[in-house]
């Protein structure tokens, strides 16, 4: 289980779990590069953080901190779905993967996916799934994923 920190050989970045202080390190601004996320107050952030923390290992938000700037420059999250199928099997779902525009192409996205998939494996999941755009298919293939079937969506807002 990736509960500890791991640093790359140059010690420039730290790949770790989200901490409550990360809101002030640019975590929300990073998510804004992925989708709408423009009005999260400190209180809302704290409440959501505590709620997700209460799921313990069934929910994990991975971040990469740039140790020089102190900024959060990459993230991705995972939740563990518990099923009756597959003899009460478990599935890891990856969501909300984004690397800061200035830090793309440095293997950080791959490190985030590695952190999350290691967690799913350690939790006993039999598979990990995610949805992505056609443009990002190659990235996930480099991370070891294969395309399977299609995505269906229903938005309520
Ligand atoms: C997609 C994204 C997360 C990739 O992160 P990244 O840190 O730039 O990617 P990495 O440097 O870890 O790339 C790992 C490998 O995938 C390749 N790769 C990265 N993006 C790719 C793409 N869109 N298509 C094909 N290959 C890609 C890299 O060349 C690298 O290959 P290598 O191991 O042979 O050198 C990042 O570009 C991003 O945040 N995009 C905007 C938000 C987004 O679309 N998120 C995904 C939501 S599903």
**Whether residue 31 has its Cβ less than 6 Å from ligand 1:** no
Domain boundaries, the chain: 6-142
**Ligand 1: centre distance to CA 6 (Å):** 20
Asked if the model's pLDDT at residue 139 lies above 50, the reply is: yes
| Average confidence (pLDDT) over 102-109 | 98
pLDDT in tens, 11-48: 899 999 999 999 999 999 999 999 999 889 999 999 99
d(CA 58, CA 60): 7
**Whether residue 94 has its Cβ less than 6 Å from ligand 1:** no
Tell me the whole-structure pTM to 2 decimals: 0.94
- The CATH class of 6-142 is alpha beta
């Amino acid at each position: 289980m990736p509960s500890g920190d791991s640093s790359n050989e140059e010690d420039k970045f730290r790949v770790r779990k989200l901490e409550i202080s990360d809101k002030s390190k640019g975590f929300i601004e990073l998510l804004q590069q992925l989708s709408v996320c423009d009005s999260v107050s400190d209180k809302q952030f704290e409440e959501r953080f505590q709620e997700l923390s209460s799921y313990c290992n069934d929910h994990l938000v991975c971040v990469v901190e740039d140790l020089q700037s102190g900024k959060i420059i990459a993230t991705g999250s995972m939740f563990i779905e518990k099923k009756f199928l597959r003899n009460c099997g478990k599935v890891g779902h990856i969501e909300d993967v984004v690397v800061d525009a200035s830090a793309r192409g440095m293997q950080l996205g791959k490190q985030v996916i590695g952190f999350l998939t290691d967690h799913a494996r350690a939790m006993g999941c039999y598979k990990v799934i995610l949805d992505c755009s056609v443009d990002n298919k190659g990235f996930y293939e480099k991370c070891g994923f294969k395309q399977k079937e299609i995505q269906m969506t229903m938005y309520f807002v």
